[in-house]
Amino acid sequence: MGITLCKGCGYGNNNDDDTRNKCWCCCCYCYYYYYCCCCSWCSCWCCSSCNNNHPQNSVGLDPAKKMRILLLGLAGSGKTEIAHQLIKAKRHDYQTTNGAHSYNIIHIDTMCSLTEIGGNEDMQKIWHHYYVSTMALIYCFDMSATYKELKRSFCMLNKILKNCYMSGKPVLLVATKSDLVDESIQWYDIENTFQVEAMARTYGSTIKLCYSNVNTEMTRVERNFNLNLMAGIDWLFKYLLDNFSIIQMRLNCDRNMQNWELQRDKLIAEGKINLCKYQRFPKLSSRQKIWRYTHKHLKRRSSSLIRPHTAPTASFVRTLSTSPH
């Protein structure tokens, strides 16, 4: 197979071994239905041979049902390694990820855009820009790390789920480098120490735990055999497919809310609205009392994170039965 250019960004790929982004076109049945990881975020779907945009291709993939998953974790936790395993491609550079990198995956007849963002402290500052449009989170942590590092990693997970655009979304928690730990460390130690179950209940997110051991000396066949991780991915895709319309509605609502907040901040900055209007009333007036009461009430509600009664019930899924040892 020669060089195939992506219609979205013109980026070419001449690696015969790398079949990750190629699939059948439904119009001309050529083998050039090609898209690349650079422009996947903008949902570019065009056949490079017949120049058509397809609402659906021959294998029944519906671009409208494209999933967006965020891959996060501290620096060196093995995110890029997992992403390469999921797209079944060989990893050539072992450098730290700077910025965001998007990968296209087709799994259970569903298209998915997996976005990895670097885990160093500078990159952590841009994570929140991706929360609104993501449907689920894959969070990696290094199982062979010290207690201090593990604590830092779980604090970060707590911080992510605390964000109003992330809480309630499904999370696949991946313990990487499980080949480097001995039998003295088990999942339930980590689960109890960092109170994963309590975290899932507090933020209303379903959390699934799984292992990954992507040893660099593994052959490609062995890498594909990372069953525990694949079972976790299966679970995540099934969860998203089962709840697709609900999650889509949530994303739309979040986007509207974000736009509204931006608009409000802009109006405040321009001095067109004033949030302190209540101060015009005398201190003990009934108007002030009402304002103070509602303000306190709202504050209490947001700090205790009460979920609306219409929200889907929160459930917690336990660790997959297979152990890394």
Residue (72 or 199) nearer to Mg ion, CB: 72
Question: Does position 75 bind ligand GTP by CB under 6 A?
Answer: yes
Q: Which does 94 bind (CB under 5 to 8 A by kind): ligand GTP, Mg ion, none?
A: ligand GTP
Question: Does position 102 bind Mg ion by CB under 5 A?
Answer: no
Residue (205 or 212) nearer to ligand GTP, CB: 212
Position among 80, 178, 205, 213 found at the interface with Mg ion (CB under 5 A): 80
Residue (73 or 170) nearer to ligand GTP, CB: 73
In whole angstroms, the minimum distance from the beta carbon of 314 to Mg ion comes to 31
Question: Does position 204 bind ligand GTP by CB under 6 A?
Answer: no
Question: Does position 254 bind ligand GTP by CB under 6 A?
Answer: no
Residue (76 or 204) nearer to ligand GTP, CB: 76
Question: Does position 97 bind Mg ion by CB under 5 A?
Answer: yes
Place of tokens 């699934």: 208
Question: Does position 96 bind ligand GTP by CB under 6 A?
Answer: yes
In whole angstroms, the minimum distance from the beta carbon of 51 to Mg ion comes to 35
Distance CA 293, CA 22 (A): 59
In whole angstroms, the minimum distance from the beta carbon of 90 to ligand GTP comes to 12
Position among 35, 81, 130, 134 found at the interface with ligand GTP (CB under 6 A): 81
* Binding mask of the shown chain, residues 306 to 325, with x at each position contacting Mg ion by CB under 5 A: --------------------
Question: Does position 76 bind ligand GTP by CB under 6 A?
Answer: yes
CA terminus-to-terminus distance, the chain:
41
In whole angstroms, the minimum distance from the beta carbon of 140 to ligand GTP comes to 6
Q: Which does 56 bind (CB under 5 to 8 A by kind): Mg ion, ligand GTP, none?
A: none
Q: Which of 108, 141, 87 is nearest to 234 (CA)?
A: 108
* Residues in binding site for Mg(2+): 80, 97
Which residues contact ligand GTP (rule: CB under 6 A)? Answer: 73, 75-81, 94, 96-97, 118-120, 176-177, 179-180, 212-216
